[in-house]
Structure 1
Amino acid sequence: MKSFACLLVLSALTVSALAQENFKCPDDFGFYPHHISCDKYWKCDNNAAELKTCGNGLAFDASDPKFLTENCDYIHNVDCGDRSQLEPAISAPHCERLYGIFADDAKCDVFWNCWNGEASRYQCSPGLAYDREARVCMWADQVPECKSDEVAGGFTCPADVNNVGNSFSRHAHPEDCRKYYICLEGQAREYGCPIGTVFKIGDSDGSGNCEDPEDVPGCEDYYKDVDLKMLKKQGY
């Protein structure tokens, strides 16, 4: 009985393979999706069909109704529909596949953009973490994968802040002049002052603003050995 079932499966696979091998070009020129594979497609040139495969981690975008666009995009950007099959994953350092955007295994505010197996490191702004589902940087406390000790660096909002109230307050980072914490209804979030400035504690508890380092005692040399123009270009 088992052997008969296997023969049926093999027969179905053979018929499916033959159907694809006998693909007929609907027009002389165009790019057409494979019927079951999201990362494969047919290139028709002079009415001759050639089976093509996108890079590992990319999928064929079949959204062009005229079938004149040859476009392989990140899998998460493509609506595969019933084309559910993909080539086996080929991994590289920091890359689950050769192409794609992937979260870091250790730090929740770091993610990697992989292109042909080459990984480029990106870091979310202070207080944010990379959300694997939305594929954007969000508040760290809203990202399930982010460990509690990584949210606002483990900083806990004071139970009571004089002259400011419990709903909103600012607090200096204990080690980094540029960083500070905002407490909003008891929830701590880490922020960073704009490049070229540092956080200056205000006159009342829980207050403060970003100011020129020269005006903040102890932070005068914060940017002493830093190329500010280069940092701004890198988006810090």
Structure 2
Amino acid sequence: MSSSIVFTAPLLVLATVAALTGAQQFACPHDYGFYAHDIACDKYWACDLGVATLKTCGNGLAFDDTDPENLKENCDYLHNVKCGKRTELQPPIVVGNCKALHGIFPDDSECEVFHSCWAGEGTRYQCGPGLAYDRRSRTCSWMDQVPECKQQRADALALTGIQCPEAGRLSAVGSFTRHAHPDDCRLYYACFDGVPREYGCPIGTVFAIGQAEGEGQCQDPKTVPGCEDYYGDIDISVLKTLGL
């Protein structure tokens, strides 16, 4: 009785190993090429002289299997790859503002900020005035069009005290009005159909309040009281050359 148990256990182990080994086997359709894994979106098979090697994309990346000839070894951002039934992924490795080692991620507290991460090193980017990072389109969009940023936008507008003309109602200067930013000489708010959006004057100019509420425009800082030294000693021509 005891002897049968002694011999059966090793056989079970060998059977398990054989099953696992068989699960890892992949028959290369051609001598050379790259082929998607059946169930894992971030894994793929690399075939060289008919020998298959299982590879894994960087954390946060997935294998792009759209090449009909299977000759491209391309790991792309996860949001760019249609995984379909390849649903398995390695757990994300979080480093600072990077929700995975590779990817583009919104900031946790500032709607206009996002982080581009590669190999765990994140670079901080900030959308322009009035814009916020849209998690769906992965572009900078008007803050009022980004649902996650409604509260931040509401809080910011509350501090300005700006009152836009109601949609469809004309003010002294029409339905489109401009209003100074409370803290920054270069920024201003423009109202469209009752919705204020933040803009920035071109480099080298600042926003000047007009004689009538809502008709301000961008002008040379020297002509705007309180904003004469907005750019300090910075060479404006250099900023324009750099596209800042």
TM-score scaled by length of structure 2: 0.83
- Which of 51, 57, 73 aligns to 2:54? It is 51
CA displacement at 1:91 relative to structure 2: 0.6
**Cα 1:28–1:227 shift into 2, 3 Å:** farther
Aligned equivalents of 1:223, 1:202: Cα separation in 2? 21
- 8 Å CA contact retained: 1:127, 1:191: yes
Matched residue, 2:172: 163
The CA deviation at 1:136 is 1.0
Report how far residue 19 of structure 1 moved.
4.8
Indicate if the aligned counterparts of 1:157 and 1:183 stay in contact, CA closer than 8 A.
no
Match in the other structure for 2:226: 218
* 1:1-236 matched pairs, under 5 angstroms: 18-151=21-154, 153-154=156-157, 155-158=160-163, 162-165=171-174, 167-226=175-234, 228=236, 231=239, 236=244
- Give the deviation of 1:195 after TM superposition: 1.7
> Deviation of residue 193 (structure 1)?
1.1
Q: How far apart, CA to CA, are the structure 2 residues paired with 1:223 and 1:87?
A: 49
- Determine the C-alpha separation between the residues in 1 that align with 2:241 and 2:84: 39
Q: Number of aligned pairs?
A: 223
Cα 1:128–1:99 change in 2 (3 A) is same
User: Which structure has the larger Rg?
Assistant: 2
C-alpha change, 1:52 and 1:104, in structure 2 (3 Å) is same
- Letter matched to residue 58 of structure 2: G
User: What are structure 1's unaligned runs of at least 5 residues?
Assistant: 1-10
Q: CA deviation at 1:153?
A: 2.3
Letter in 1 for 2:77: Y
User: How far apart, in 1, do the equivalents of 2:243 and 2:110 lie?
Assistant: 19
Take 1:229 and 1:51, find their aligned partners in 2: how far apart are those partners?
Answer: 54
What are the ranges of 5 or more consecutive residues in structure 2 without an aligned counterpart? 1-14
Give the whole-Å Cα distance in 1 for the aligned partners of 2:78 and 2:239: 32
> What's the TM-score, normalizing by structure 1?
0.86
1:146 aligned counterpart, secondary structure: helix
> Once the 2 structures are TM-superposed, how far is the Cα of residue 217 of structure 1 from its aligned partner?
1.9
How far is the alpha carbon of 1:214 from its aligned partner? Answer: 1.8
Read off the aligned partner of 1:110 and give its amino acid letter. V
Q: 1:183 and 1:19, CA in 2 relative to 1: closer, same or farther beyond 3 A?
A: farther
Structure 1: distance between partners of 2:141 and 2:135:
10
Contact 1:156 1:188 in 2 (8 A): no
Cα deviations by residue, 1:14-58 (Å, 9 ceiling, x for unpaired): 96x545421011111111000100000011111111111000000
Q: CA RMSD in A?
A: 2.4
Q: Percent identity?
A: 57
Instruction: Give the match for residue 4 of structure 1.
Output: none
